[in-house]
């Protein structure tokens, strides 16, 4: 069974915020939450990661629920270049990364 | 430029043949990973290596083999025992001192007929 659950697809308008949800109800206390995104026929690229506290970087924000059973990736102003498959991932303390099936984000102009 | 290279981008083989996929990195990273991706699905871990001359099985290692004789190289062999080898294969590396980010190569699309 997958360790993370995400909606198959979401749609957003350009220049509007996007909230991408992820459930990880079986997360252990030492698992980190990572988000990567993947363009067609390319390898995934790192977006953001966190453990317990909310995180911000130049690409996005990560909001982590208090019980850590869910998280949300926030793109503050979606652009056409943000159209990709977004993966919510758990990294365990052996540095194994567990990918979910991803959310395909479509951005409309 | 530093990065990860995978070659070739597309690979075609006949059923019953072993095939080796190349993965090279010049990032001086200790850890390297192999993933398999099937259409519309996420990545599944095949093998990973935290250091030279050491590697561990991932979630779907059956029918695959790897070696890690050099820090910069982590080749993956898809053997004839792998029942459904057609897939997109991705290699990644990670700096063990900066453990949060994996750097991925461009991938190899393997088709076996």
pLDDT tens for A69-105 read 999 999 999 999 999 999 999 998 888 899 988 999 9
- The closest of B38, B46, B37, B43 to B74, measured between CA atoms, is B46
pLDDT digit string, tens, across residues A11-65: 999 999 999 999 999 999 999 999 999 998 888 999 999 999 999 999 899 999 9
CB neighbours of B97 closer than 8 A, spacing ≥ 6? none
Per-residue model confidence (pLDDT) at position B40: 80
| Closest C-alpha among B112, B85, B105 to residue B34 | B105
- Confidence at residue B52, expressed as pLDDT on a 0 to 100 scale: 95
pLDDT band of A2, cuts 50, 70, 90: confident
Task: Determine whether the interchain pair B42/A97 forms a contact, defined as Cβ–Cβ distance below 8 Å.
Answer: no
- Minimum-distance CB partner of A96 among B45, B90, B105: B45
Distance CA B17, CA B92 (A): 25
pLDDT at res. B65: 97
**Residue contact B94–A45, C-beta within 8 A:** no
The DSSP secondary structure of B47-89, one letter per residue, reads EEEEETTEEEE-TT-TTEEE--SBTTB--EEE-TT-S---EEE
Pairing state between β B87-94 and B76-78: unpaired
- Do A101 and B107 count as a contact with CB atoms less than 8 A apart? no
Q: How confident is the model at residue B95 (pLDDT cuts 50, 70, 90)?
A: confident
Q: How confident is the model at residue B2 (pLDDT cuts 50, 70, 90)?
A: low
Q: Following DSSP, what letter does each residue of A10-48 receive, concatenated?
A: EEEETTS-EEEEEE-TT--TT-EEEEEEE-TTS--EEEE
Residue range B47-51: mean pLDDT, rounded: 94
% pLDDT > 70, chain B: 96
* Tokens encoding A109: 């102009």
* Count of residues in chain B: 113
pLDDT bracket for residue B42 (50, 70, 90): confident
Q: Min CA distance, B88 vs chain A (Å)? A: 9
| pLDDT given at position B35 | 96
- Please say if the pLDDT value at position B37 is more than 90: yes
């Amino acid at each position: 069974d997958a360790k993370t659950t995400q909606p198959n697809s979401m749609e957003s308008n350009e220049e509007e915020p996007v909230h991408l949800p992820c459930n990880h109800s079986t997360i252990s206390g030492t698992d980190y939450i990572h988000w990567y995104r993947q363009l067609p026929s390319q390898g995934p690229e790192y977006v953001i990661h966190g453990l317990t506290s909310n995180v911000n970087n130049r690409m996005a924000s990560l909001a982590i629920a208090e019980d850590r059973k869910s998280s949300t990736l926030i793109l503050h102003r979606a652009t056409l270049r943000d159209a990709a498959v977004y993966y919510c991932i758990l990294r365990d303390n052996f540095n194994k990364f567990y990918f979910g099936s991803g959310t395909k984000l479509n951005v409309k102009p | 430029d530093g990065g990860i290279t995978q070659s070739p981008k597309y690979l075609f083989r006949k059923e019953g043949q072993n095939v080796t996929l190349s993965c090279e990195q010049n990032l001086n990273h200790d850890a390297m990973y192999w993933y398999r991706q099937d259409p519309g699905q996420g990545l599944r871990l095949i093998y990973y290596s935290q250091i030279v001359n050491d590697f561990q099985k991932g979630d779907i290692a059956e029918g695959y083999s790897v070696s890690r004789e050099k820090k910069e190289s982590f080749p993956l062999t898809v053997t004839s025992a792998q029942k459904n080898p057609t897939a997109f294969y991705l290699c990644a590396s990670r700096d063990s001192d900066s453990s949060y980010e994996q750097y991925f190569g461009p991938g190899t699309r393997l088709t076996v007929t």
